Amino acid sequence: MDGQSEVLKLLSCEFNRIKLKNSSYSLRSFARRLKVSPASLSGIMNGKLNLTKSMGTKVLEQIGARPDQTSQILATLKNKNQRKVNDLVPVDMDAYHLISDWYYFGILVLADTVNFKSSSKWIAKRLNIQIRQAHSALLTLCRLGLLNRNSKGKYFSTGKQFKTSSGVPNGLLRGSHFQNLDLARRSLEKDGLNECDFTAMTVAIDPKKIPEAKQMLTEFRRAFANRFEVGNKTEVFRLCLQFFPLTEINN
């Protein structure tokens, strides 16, 4: 495997994907997202700059490359004061899919609804995904101990908690949030306004209070779940709270 070529393909695909949605998206903006200099990114993209493991690690983490793919690519790149390869991928493939593909948690919550059926076909239809995706996700959730089967073969949630906020590459979490935005867009296109809620507000705050604001949002999510995850549960919803700066934050 030519690691440099593989990284170039991944970068090109990601850049073109964003460019299709935002024609004004620039290479400089892409470099800012990858946390590398525009000159370095330009050199990598045009093949004039040899990619080191440390640089490869950084860009692969930021675009959310798969753990197995990351390990294979890094194994072909030259050393230059890089971290150990085993330290670069803090999540295994099962955890990777759980974090990066929205329907894993969708299936986990769906299993807690009334009239749930332990059929990949039924699950796929309910979540509008492919049957093979539903089947693979069921196996993964069982391996992670999040789902189990009773004596009648019916899946049920074990109640085990899975924390994803620590030790996960930023790029992987970013990919998950991109999926949330796509799901929201899909809902805007097909669902009635009485079935969802899209609101926004703009506020001016002291940046020193950002941690407090994030903590309040966390507490709200927990309170929301405690209040509504009871009773006759028949449908699965996703709550996405977005809190981000509109201005360039002065450090």
pTM value surpassing 0.75: no
Confidence class for position 80, pLDDT limits 50, 70, 90: very low
What span, in angstroms and rounded, lies between the C-alpha atoms of 83 and 78? Answer: 12
Write out pLDDT tens, residues 122-176: 999 999 999 999 999 999 899 888 899 888 888 998 887 765 544 555 666 777 7
Q: How remote is the C-alpha of 188 from its chain's centroid?
A: 20
Q: Is 17 a residue whose pLDDT tops 70?
A: yes
Domain 3-89 has CATH 1.20.1070: no
76 pLDDT higher than 60: yes
Please spell the DSSP secondary structure of 70-136, one letter per residue: HHHHHTTSBPSSPPPGGGT--S-HHHHHHHH-THHHHHHHHTTSTT----HHHHHHHHT--HHHHHH
The CA distance from 78 to 125, in Å, is 47
Name the residue ranges covered by the structural domains of the chain: 3-89
- Whole-number percent of the chain with pLDDT over 90: 29
At 198-249, the pLDDT tens digits run 989 999 999 999 999 999 999 999 999 999 998 999 999 999 988 888 787 7
